[in-house]
Structure 1
Amino acid sequence: MATDLAAAAAALLEARRSRQWLAALPEGARPATQEEAVAIQALVAEALGPIGGWKVGAATPEAMPGCAPLNTRDLRFDDTPFSAAAFNITGIEAEIGFRLGADLPPREKPYSREEVMAAVASLHPIIEIVDTRFKALNSTDPLSHVADQINHGALVVGPALESWRHIDPPNEPVRLTFNDKVAVEHVGGNTAGEPIRLLQWLANEGARRLGGLKAGMVVTTGSCTGLLLVPPGTRVRATFRNAGTVETAIV
């Protein structure tokens, strides 16, 4: 029997609306493959409005990447605080992202690394707020969490750095502070390694289902600090030595 992808998407959308968090997706609606999980992602994203970006990452520098579309409504380009009541959980990750200055539409010939780099307009420090529509992180099967936007809540996009090619993300020092107290301070930290291969994969494969990458989209490339949960009343600042600083707060 085929997986009911529409029922899965409907359950995730209803959890967002009602804030009745899921123990699991309905029987018969749980993705059995990565392709089914990605199809559910697409249904949810299309229901939530315009797509303004993507998250992409990988477990190791050699591993197959994974991705999720991000809706414009969940992107923020300033330090306006978030209400904790808008989320189920509030996890924090510091990341490095890129904003595109040119379209990379689906095409038969794969995009080269240089073509992808040429399409990047700017590099940004990023804070991702991690969330889940399930009762907790890792509380159900992994593919269901992939279907749920890979645990995305919101994205805070810091100032643009237009001259960025000198930055080496795997060797970029990062400090993450909560209420001015250092929570993480180290070099690199992203398990995926250097991020351009992730952008290249996203252009050639990951974003094809939803029409490819478009100018203005923001692509964030995975956590440099790991995931840390924070309570309401937390001011968050992520500072990269060369990539800049981004701030937000959970109130």
Structure 2
Amino acid sequence: MSHLSSQTRSKLLGETIRDAIRFETAFDPDPFAGLSLPDAYGVQAEVFHALDQPFKGSKLTLKGDVCHSAPLFWVAEGDRHAFRPGVSLEVELAFVLGKDIATGSGPVTRLDVVDAIASVHIGVEFLRSRYAGGSRRDPALAAADMMSNAGYILGPLLHRQLLDEGASIGPLSIAIDGQAVFDKPATHVDGDPLKTVTVLANQAPLSSFSMLKAGQVLTTGSLCGLIPIGEPARVDVNMAGQQFVLSLS
């Protein structure tokens, strides 16, 4: 595939990811290795728009000093959702913006980010890589595949004190059909779960999506790691004084 132009390879990758999402399949990403980051974000946008989903928020992650992002495929509330084969989940903190985070008019501080957040929730992210064997730790391939996002559930409201710098989330327990799969203190890979949002607000955009707007949901990383869900199940999440019981059927 190296003989194809970058534009043709990007178009083919986008079509293949789109079909893998629609038909719940996976494909070998190796022929697409070497994708540039700008091309990856172009693929990401094309795939998302082709699937005709409203843009309701983003997942964010730090790669060195740069924030990478992907749209959340869908965002929903409630405790009953359809089970999908091959899907795993992560429990996260979800932040709902009450107003825009103003960018481009000077440095954005952590306090500016906190001020823009209307509410904090338990978040449950569904993930399924469209690549057989994953993205090969390739940031561009990961971005093109929307960082494996397969949907997002906004759970119960949590206390705003979790936005305080250095705040402890406390214990996190997760059970699948009554069997404990995680029972440890919740920890965020960045230490501060708002660090990535602050970085995004201060960097040149990589994505064409209009992010950091009022009403959008932001999530910045797992508190538990990836948890496979092999069949329809009941998922019990206990965190920060709240319980969330999710039925996947």
TM tier relative to shorter chain: 0.7 to 0.9
In the superposition, relative to structure 1, how do residues 109 and 77 fare at CA in structure 2: closer, same or farther (>3 Å)? Answer: same
Deviations 1:13-68 (A, max 9, x none): 1222233421227x5x5552333322221222222322101111237xx7543221
2:88 corresponding residue in structure 1? 91
1:81 corresponding residue in structure 2? 81
**Aligned equivalents of 1:168 and 1:43: distance in 2?**
38
Worse overlay, 43-52 or 116-125: 43-52
Amino acid at match of 1:58: L
Contact 2:169 2:240 in 1 (8 A): no
Contact 1:234 1:250 in 2 (8 A): yes
Q: Give matches, 1:54-65, under 5 Å.
A: 54-58=58-62, 64-65=66-67
Worse overlay, 173-182 or 157-166: 157-166
Q: What stretches of structure 2 of length at least 5 have no aligned partner? A: none
In the superposition, relative to structure 1, how do residues 169 and 246 fare at CA in structure 2: closer, same or farther (>3 Å)? Answer: farther
Indicate whether 1:2 and 2:1 are aligned: no
Q: Give matches, 1:8-157, under 5 Å.
A: 8-24=13-29, 27=31, 30=33, 32-48=35-51, 49-58=53-62, 64-71=66-73, 74-84=74-84, 87=85, 89-104=86-101, 106-138=103-135, 141=138, 143-157=140-154
**Aligned equivalents of 1:224 and 1:249: distance in 2?**
20
RMSD across aligned positions (CA) = 2.6
Contact 1:23 1:140 in 2 (8 A): no
Contact 1:69 1:149 in 2 (8 A): yes
Deviations 1:176-217 (A, max 9, x none): 111122211111332121111111123333576312321111
**Aligned equivalents of 1:12 and 1:238: distance in 2?**
31
Residue 122 of structure 1: CA displacement? 0.4
Question: TM-score under structure 1 normalisation?
Answer: 0.83
**Aligned equivalents of 2:194 and 2:103: distance in 1?**
18
Identity score, percent: 23
Residue 148 of structure 1: CA displacement? 0.4
**Aligned equivalents of 2:153 and 2:94: distance in 1?**
10
**Aligned equivalents of 2:17 and 2:108: distance in 1?**
33
Contact 1:157 1:246 in 2 (8 A): no
Contact 1:96 1:169 in 2 (8 A): no
In the superposition, relative to structure 1, how do residues 184 and 160 fare at CA in structure 2: closer, same or farther (>3 Å)? Answer: same
Question: TM-score under structure 2 normalisation?
Answer: 0.84
Alignment length, in residue pairs? Answer: 241
**Aligned equivalents of 2:170 and 2:147: distance in 1?**
25
**Aligned equivalents of 2:230 and 2:10: distance in 1?**
34
Amino acid at match of 1:190: H
Q: What stretches of structure 1 of length at least 5 have no aligned partner? A: none
1:201 corresponding residue in structure 2? 199
**Aligned equivalents of 1:93 and 1:211: distance in 2?**
25
In the superposition, relative to structure 1, how do residues 171 and 112 fare at CA in structure 2: closer, same or farther (>3 Å)? Answer: same
